[in-house]
Amino acid sequence: MSLPATDIDPLAGQLEHVLGAGRLPREYSNWGSQLLKRLRQPVRVALTGTAGAGKSAVADMLLGRVVIGRKAGGHMVEICHGRDERVVFEAADGTRVQQPGVLADAEVPQDAVLVRQYLPDPQLRWHSYTELPLSGSAGRQRDLLQKASAAVDIILWCSQEFGAAEQALWAGVPDSSKDHSFLVLTMADRQIMRGILADRIAALEPVAAEEFLGVYPVAAIQGLTARTSGGPSGAGLWRSSGGKQLFDDVMHQVELGRSSDLDQAEMLVRQYGAAAPSPEPAPRPAARKPQEPPQASAAKPAGAGQGLDAALERLQQRAEEMLAEEDAAGGPRADAVLGRCLEAVQELSEMLEQAPDSPAAETARETAQDGSELMVLCQLEQGEDAAIDAVTLLVQLKKELAEDSS
């Protein structure tokens, strides 16, 4: 859920100024636009799974209060930040009915197809929740899940057993989404009482190791009780319910994604936005974690046309020029190395743009674009470590082009 009226972080305004003034090099414009879009919306967390999986209970537990209760009724429910506590019901024709309070206490109109819950919870400025039920045919469920994967940042798959049918459904989710997803085994207390939880976790761990960040057995009702009761006994129940571990790890993912976007935007603004306005920065999410730079695409050039050969030859020439300059100067200087590496990757991107269109050329352009973004980060960080990273990246790009042109 985007918040177009107000920037979540003033850095968005600075980045918008840089983009609007045309200060970003062409090869970074799309990256900057995507960053701006992400800065103007919270990190989106989706809770999904088949009917009866306990999604609403998990959502209420994460919120620390009964917000949805038993009123979801198969509707998609979006929970986001608002100035006051209210729930909006949207019908298929786009008409909306608004009620004060929370969904759990509301009268749900019969024609409602979508529910939006607004809460004045400061944490929801940084992330939002969406309960997405999967129903209907297997094909419809796949379509819903594919759309959700493209629209959200973190997925919590809620299930009591994550059986073969669910595993087949989940298999269609892109790997990029799986890298930020959790398998939540709901109603863990009941499974403990039946004596099946330990065996179920053991059976799912090999699958979860490939498909999720981890398996999280959760007794959501007990977790919610713990959060609302407080005190030492509540803290113990919060841990033993499995809710605390899930909550902490989801928030960690939110902080990672948010801080990564902020760091990248700050670097772009610092490099290209000298004349941009500089408002007082807004506070970032608590417990900010160290960030890894965005990973280059795993896709590699799939062929070798003349454009790729020319790009490879020019990259080799650039490397030789850099070595010659370093020898003449009596050794490498970090700032010179960083500048040369950035120039080399930018030139590579320009040459690939002129190459004849083909699947191989398009893949090479994407790889070079990812490399350009990483190279900008290296240059902005400065220092010997950044120079080493830049050279390593340049060698990797050269290696990928060389392998596919042979």
Q: Are 373 and 346 in contact (CB under 8 A)?
A: no
122, 136, 180, 287, 299 from 251: Cα distances, Å: 14, 32, 12, 9, 30
Angstrom distance (rounded) from CA 393 to CA 400: 11
Query: Tokens representing 327?
Result: 């020898």
pLDDT of 336-353, one tens digit each?
Answer: 666 667 777 777 777 777
pLDDT of 104-137, one tens digit each?
Answer: 999 999 999 999 999 999 989 889 999 999 988 9
Q: Which is more confidently placed, 157 or 229?
A: 157
Confidence of residue 199 (pLDDT cuts 50, 70, 90): very high
Query: In this model, does residue 270 exceed pLDDT 90?
Result: no
pLDDT of 166-178, one tens digit each?
Answer: 999 999 999 989 9
Mean pLDDT over residues 370-381, rounded?
60
- The three-class DSSP label of residue 129 is strand
Mean pLDDT over residues 28-45, rounded?
86
Predicted local distance difference test score (pLDDT) of residue 40: 84
Q: Are 218 and 188 in contact (CB under 8 A)?
A: yes
pLDDT of 296-355, one tens digit each?
Answer: 333 333 333 455 566 666 666 665 565 555 444 444 455 666 666 777 777 777 777 777
Q: Where are the alpha helices (DSSP H) in 160-305?
A: 164-170, 175-178, 188-194, 197-211, 220-229, 231-240, 243-272
Predicted local distance difference test score (pLDDT) of residue 351: 77
Predicted local distance difference test score (pLDDT) of residue 39: 85
Q: Tokens 């919306």 identify what position?
A: 41
Predicted local distance difference test score (pLDDT) of residue 397: 67
Q: Are 336 and 321 in contact (CB under 8 A)?
A: no
Query: Tokens representing 334?
Result: 């970090």
**Considering only 121-125, 194-198, 342-346, 386-390, which range has the smallest mean pLDDT?**
386-390
CA dihedral 278, 280, 282, 287 (to 10 degrees): 100
Predicted local distance difference test score (pLDDT) of residue 335: 64
The backbone torsions φ and ψ at residue 129, rounded to the nearest 5 degrees and listed phi first, read: -120, 145
Query: In this model, does residue 390 exceed pLDDT 50?
Result: yes
Predicted local distance difference test score (pLDDT) of residue 355: 73
Q: Tokens 């939540």 identify what position?
A: 184
Query: In this model, does residue 392 exceed pLDDT 70?
Result: no
CA proximity to 167, closest of 176, 175, 159: 159
Give the pTM.
0.67
Angstrom distance (rounded) from CA 147 to CA 133: 13
Predicted local distance difference test score (pLDDT) of residue 294: 36
Angstrom distance (rounded) from CA 104 to CA 145: 25
Angstrom distance (rounded) from CA 372 to CA 342: 7
Instruction: Parse the chain into domains and list their residue ranges.
Output: 43-241, 306-405
Element (H, E) at 219: none
For strand 154-159 and strand 181-185, is the pairing parallel, antiparallel, or unpaired? parallel
Angstrom distance (rounded) from CA 261 to CA 263: 6
Give percent above pLDDT 90 in the chain: 44
The backbone torsions φ and ψ at residue 34, rounded to the nearest 5 degrees and listed phi first, read: -65, -40
CATH architecture of 43-241: 3-Layer(aba) Sandwich (3.40)
Confidence of residue 277 (pLDDT cuts 50, 70, 90): very low
Element (H, E) at 10: none
What residue type is assigned to position 224 of the chain? L
Buried b (16+ CB within 10 A) or exposed e, 130-151: bbbbbeeeeeebbebbeebbee
pLDDT of 181-190, one tens digit each?
Answer: 999 999 999 9
Confidence of residue 389 (pLDDT cuts 50, 70, 90): low
User: Which DSSP string corresponds to 329-353?
Assistant: TTS--HHHHHHHHHHHHHHHHHHHH
Mean pLDDT over residues 40-52, rounded?
92
CA proximity to 128, closest of 88, 87, 80: 80
Predicted local distance difference test score (pLDDT) of residue 20: 85
